């Protein structure tokens, strides 16, 4: 994480992706979201977070495409997924 990049707090990430700050911290601890602890708090590089969200969206789309066609109803596009998360 470069010092000149925009760093986000757990609260800011939570607002962007629609989950609680506690869930953001848990996802970071599990390695599901890219973050670093600074001063005992999680911080997130805006660019790395965007890439992770895109990867998650692509994985969701791939999973939906691999599913039985009768189970695809309600699947959303990557653009709709990202828009729903404010990205």
Concatenated DSSP letters of 9-58: EHHHHHHHHTS-HHHHHHHHHTTSS--EEETTEEEEEHHHHHHHHHHHHH
**The pLDDT of residue 56:** 82
Cα distance between residue 84 and residue 59, in whole Å: 16
Q: Which residue has the tokens 């760093």?
A: 7
Residues of the chain with pLDDT under 70: 1-4, 64-79, 87
Q: Which residue has the tokens 């998650």?
A: 56
**The pLDDT of residue 84:** 79
CATH architecture of 7-84: Orthogonal Bundle (1.10)
**The pLDDT of residue 73:** 56
39 φ/ψ sector (left φ>0, alpha ψ -120 to 50, else beta):
left
**The pLDDT of residue 71:** 56
């Amino acid at each position: 994480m470069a010092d000149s990049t925009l760093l986000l707090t757990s609260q800011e990430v939570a607002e962007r992706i629609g989950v609680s700050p506690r869930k953001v911290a848990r996802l970071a601890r599990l390695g599901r979201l890219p973050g670093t602890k600074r001063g005992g708090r999680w911080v997130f590089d805006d660019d790395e977070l965007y890439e992770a969200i895109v990867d998650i969206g692509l994985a969701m789309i791939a999973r939906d495409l691999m599913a039985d066609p009768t189970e695809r109803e309600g699947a959303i596009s990557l653009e709709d997924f990202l828009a729903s998360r404010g990205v």
